[in-house]
A = this chain, B = another copy of it.
Amino acid sequence: MIDYRIDRGSGVPAYVQIVEQTERALRMGTLRVGDKLPTAREVVAATAINPNTVLRAYRDMEQTGLVELRRGLGTFVTRSLARPGSEDDSPLRREITDWVARARAAGLERADVLALVTAALDAHGDEHDSGTPGDRDRKKEDA
């Protein structure tokens, strides 16, 4: 079951953080079609945010077709964002896990690591993508 972590204090709205983390889990295959998201009640218990805020996030994802809210039952994943290459045992994944470990061992913080990756993405050429830097989980992209 996905476990949301809300960073109050980053200026980023709580509901955006929920959507981002959910999409990330979908891309990684951590969350699969048919899986149930935690109930608003559960998220509230874990994060101390307001139930309405959770529902707002779920509603947003319903509109983008990622999940379905079934009254009385819960919220369920209806679409995958998984990519071949992101599997748990893929070479790319093993390599990045290793690289991250070395980066951290070298003293880099989480933010340093992300900055490095973002720079590499930007260097690779934006033309292959439509996204602006920091443009992760844009509403579309996929299909």
Contacts and interface: CB of A to CB of B under 8 A. Distances in A.
A121 B12 CA distance: 20
Q: How large is the interface on A (under 10, 10 to 19, 20 to 34, 35 or more residues)?
A: 35 or more
The complex is assembled from copies of this chain, and their number is 4
Contacts of A124: 97, 100-101, 104
B92 A109 contact: no
A1 interface: no
A74 B128 CA distance: 34
A137 to B, nearest CB: 5
B9 A139 contact: yes
A64 B60 CA distance: 11
B110 A10 contact: no
B115 A86 contact: yes
A100 B117 CA distance: 8
Interface of A: 5-7, 9-13, 15-17, 19-21, 23-24, 27-28, 30, 50, 60, 63-64, 72, 83-86, 92-93, 95-97, 99-104, 106-121, 123-124, 126, 128-129, 131-143
21 contacts: A5-B132, A7-B141, A10-B138, A10-B141, A10-B142, A11-B13, A12-B13, A16-B143, A21-B134, A27-B112, A28-B119, A63-B63, A83-B112, A84-B107, A85-B107, A93-B116, A96-B116, A96-B120, A100-B121, A107-B132, A111-B131
